[in-house]
Structure 1
Amino acid sequence: MGSSVSCTSNTKVIDTAFEKQEKSERKIEDCTETVKSSSHCLKSDPIEALPSNNSSAPPPCDPIEAPPSNNILAPPPGDQIEAPTLNDIVAPPPAPSVTMSTSNKQKENGDDKDAGTENSKDKGEAENGEKKVENEWMTDEELEEFRKKTFDYLRDTANEVVALKTRHESGGAFVTKIYNATIRFNQIYFALKKTVRENIHKFRKDIAELMMETKYFNLSCEIVMEIYKNGWCGKDGKEEKSKTVPLTNSLITLLNFSDGCDEYAIGLANEPGFLDTLKQILGDSLPKYFAKEGEPKLSGIEEKLMKHSLSIVHNMSMRESNISKLRDADMISCLKPYLKSPNEMYALNALASLAGLINEEECDVINSNKEIVMILLDCIRKGMKDKMRRCKGWSCQESVFTVKLLARNDANMKTLVDLGALELLVEMAKIGDDGEQFESVSALWALCFDEDNQSLITGKPELGVVDLLVDLKSSENEKIKKACNGALWTLRDALKKTVVEKYKKIEAEYAFQLRKKVIPLKMERGYTPDGWLGFIVGAKLFFEFSPKYPFEDKMKALLREIDGVLGGSGDIPDSGEIIKPQVASVTEAAGAHSVDYADTASSASNTVARISVSKTTIDNVRKWTVDDVKKWIVKNGLEKCGISSLTGGEIALLATMRVECPDFFYKCLQDMLRVKDLLTMSKIVWALHDLS
């Protein structure tokens, strides 16, 4: 399929314009043969592959799979088409050296979504042992000059062939200028290298827009529709290269450029007759593709048309505005059989397309093909390790987009989570660019609508979903921010029971350690706090901001309370006074109340035994020496209670904690002092009580 081509000059060795393609069943096919000897080349100057980073060279034009000169310049023997001049192709760079080898013919193994997928490895040395290429990035100036020359060249080419009044030869084949143009636009997809991924994507998108602007896009569709309708074989039944080359090159060009340009993919669905042609290709291919032993099989060209058509349909299905057109064309029935394809990448294309087309009632089609979903997740896993963020032609972004589409159906949500989708999406969102992050958090949002998934996400902090959403909700990208906020809102009820409770408790503990006053705010009418929060609210003045009361009244009351705290009227009075809970009368207008701390032993009676300790006592205990602490421990029989190492300040803190927040106090005894039995706990409690 391809031989190695390199260019040399008097200055430095630079990479060729087109990388050698990865070995894959879905790679670009020019339907040309490897050059077997130099006698196959025409006597005119051969076409050379142009350096991708040499801004002084003209734009590239050779096909990705370096076809033999006789296949580029003219169709195979028997088709009487005049060979074009060098101006029909492109002027080669000065004194290039070209080596074509027959030993590197590409093998087909696997199935890439993009035809002609790039190598993830940067080949610095030619396959045939030529001089190693310098691994240098293009400068901004080189990149801009390369883009300008390439676009000028492609625009001239497109305008010329679109304006042709006579497009066909007498035998029905397209004229040579169109034949060569299909090769140029095919190969240009992989021309730009040695720059960041964002520049490569923009380069390709801009070329797609140029093709639409010049109407070359429409010409490519016309070539595919016309040649498929009229056939590509001669009277002798043999395939004619003059027809198969433009057919496959045009179909591959439409496939590759519809991958990264929305307008291009939408244009394909709206091109009159094109969707019907794709449907016809897929329908015609089914009998031979699934043929039994002894029955006619697909030819090489027929299978290429089938797999490229599957990929184009998938690219179209990724655009929301195309869905109704694809459904109206009954593309679902065309795609379903391919879910059973023995080729996993064909099946994945069908699954991804159906994910965007089917509704809730039809989701069983996907839920019964879990093994294909596993292939999809594996593409994400492997793609994250690739420099171009691709696996077998599938970009991470479109793979995650497919996960998001699958997650729209309830039955698929559990399947995706069971197969490990959550972990992959979190990892992708952490390392991806804006586009990958948006699709990842959008997919997470979709998965959050399942109640079981909500419990899993909020109940297992180690998954990192909530932390990720909280981090990215402050993203500068509005789409990412909106998706994160949406996901967190969807999780709000589950978060109340798990993660938020955890963080609120930590905040409350921290406030207590700093001896900061806590003013509880009740935001939901009818909500009754329990557990640790119930202890706090039950002992303090709180303000209810539910719709039950006017917001302005509540805010005024809260501001008065805050002003009082900042003015020094907190829980700790001047020296000598007794520290006791603040008692507030119930104020209906403010919706606030407070309850004294009480000994549970006295709860049966109408009297409340208030727990108190003077500030003077606390200050004195804080000043205790080691001997003072030892005397107190011996006096109260605490030698075996595990608190011998406490300082006076720590004992004072325990005494204060027992008054201000009993829940924290008992939790501290259990978790920090490791008190596990009631006898030990009672000794410590009554020893602290005697301090008063």
Structure 2
Amino acid sequence: MTTAISPSSSTSNGVETMKLNKHDVFPKKGSSCKQTLGKNIAMGHKNKTCGTLDRVSLVLSHWDSIDETVKYDGPLSLQDSYRGTIDRMENTSSSRPQSQVSGHVSEASTSNKAPNTSPLPHAAQQNRTMSTQSLNKHDYSTAGQVNGKVEDGDLKFERLKDLPEEALLPKVQELTAYLQRMEEYHRGDGMRVQKMLGDMYWDYTSLRETIGDALAKEGYAGASMKMLKTLNSIGIFKNDDVWFPTYYAYNTLWNFSDASSKLAQSLAENDAVRLLTLNCGHKPYLSAIHSKNVYYVLKASLSILHNIAKNPSVKHLFEENKTSETIMPFIQSEDEMLKILAMLTLAYIVDEEDNSKLIDDTGVIRCVVNWIDKALDQQRRRYKGFTPTELTEGLDKLAVNDKNKMKIIEEGALPLFIKMLQSEDVHEQSACARCIWTLSFDKDARKKIIEYPELVQTLEKFSDSANKNLQKNTSGALWILNGENEASKAATRPKSAAASRTKGHIFLSYSWSDKEIAYQIRDRLRAEGYALWIDVERMGGSTLEAMADGIENSAVVLVCMSEKYKQSPNCRTEGEYTFQLRKEYIPLMMQKKYRPDGWLGAILGAKLYFDFSGKYPLEKSFQGLLKELRGRGQVTPGNTPTGGDMDGIPMTTSYLEPRTNTKYYKDSTDGPPLIQSSSTSNHASPSTPSHHHTVNNNILNMGQEEVAKWLRSIKLNECIPTFNQFDGKLLLQLRDMRQEAPEFFYQCLEKKLNMSLIEILKFTKALEELH
């Protein structure tokens, strides 16, 4: 993501008190210095007309990628009466006019006036009743000493530059602890602490993620949310004493939540999604969006939401706070920055059905592809602050939805991918290869990609790259493009010695982000005498062949479901290969409040899954898993439970039907209810549908028109022409073929009837339930 502020390297990063006379702040009417005053302040020049600056250092600046200039970017003082660089000064000395010190905004400043109301006005328990006089009594001139050494108890407010890592992280801990102890933040210390932490982002560029992770560990997210809610209760635009610490808090959160996914997740867990969503929907802010400060709050809020949204495990928080509905209007904004932030955030947080609507209604794919093109043409490979890597990562998330894959290609993404692969930036190359891998799961997209031989040849060049991510993503893309995931390749692929030795094992398919729970399951199964095939160092490169061996020779596959699993092309490769080989598999839920959709939901169908998300005790879920395994993959006898019922075991039958079709069966124990969709209630076992059907006259009496209606009812309208000669009797024969010759059945659907994997899954499930 684009970052909030970057200090210029040409001058000191410090912010010192600037001494100006009255005419520096309010030039006489008709004075010609109005347009040049800001420039002179920034450069430290003397100006005879406007007065003399006793001491000037650079305020704050960032690199503006729109016009490739350094722009001065600090909190706009609520009391400044005109625009220019002076608007960006952090403070002026106590010699400014009393009307400013009192927080009064003159009529001349109405163009920059911000609303004095905030969302969550009573959110913080630390809300104090403060008179305007007590707020204004504080002289902010000491704020310029952030870069000096101001003692406050045991804490020194100083620039923490050039410290070794072993000394830096204790400072992070110290500053965070100080922030946690604070009760009031508008007296100056709140701003100082946030700015000291924020400066670390620029002073230690190679340690940004490390610092962000340390902030998450020490509780910085909770302390900052408490701070922002407290300042909200006062009104962040009440005066500079409140606005400045608010600004630096957002600035630091924006930058480090981009650098550290752990901090982004910690923010979500500390109510940040709710506050930031309220910011984006706050009517006084929206009506004053042209104010620089209000615009900054909205831009920072959307940016932090975008950073948080990259963590799939907190997706449910966006749904609970109706974030998608709140930020959707920004897609129609004339401001491209807000528009693209909203689009990319929505790409992460909406489900597949809403994702399709988002694409159809907003043209988001065209916009993102266009921005990638513009970023590639820029000398610094950025457009509106976004790099091609960041934009391609957003495109990859959109590509997870199969309906979007061809749209991405049709908008002209593939020629841009060739440019990215031919760049010298390994991050660009890796993000591009991953997106191609994701696109390749669609057969039509595969054909289009193969039509670009230069693209495929470049991927082949990187298949043995020294960079692990690049090598994994290019090898994965080539694996799918070359058809290695097809069942027909399994018979001809050479078997490894390891596969021969471990035939009949359990294959554990999981996302790297769920590895801790996966390892607990692995250890417990091994203790019970089961042989497991588990990827400890992530799949990639030659290990794709190892993955294929592992699945081909397994007795059963455990599919560890989560949003991250669904989004991972590597996990999809494993999941679809399991399905292609028609291997027995047991789904395990790894994420709370997650409901699989898209390709993962289609594979899951109506199978029973066991909940390892932490909602229930792990041991109770594990006992249910042992019963379901029924000894498959067990090498040595253990204490595996056999027979008996499943009372008290947290198991759930997935469903794609509406919740109203669901029947609930309460345990005889205090365990969670067993949930089973009505479509599976007649199955012989919870996990394995019975193949013994009672055929009634309904299916036998179906004509071609009834078959077409049935296909519409299961949302396979596109398959109606393919089945135009089928009646009920032929459907019945097709179902019998599935039982008697399953391999030929699936080959017919794919090769003869030209059905995609998702269509095959939907059709097979519906055919099984047709009576």
Larger radius of gyration: 1
Taking structure 2 as the reference length, the TM-score comes to 0.45
More strand by share: 2
Higher RCO (Cα < 8 Å, 6 or more apart)? 1
Taking structure 1 as the reference length, the TM-score comes to 0.49
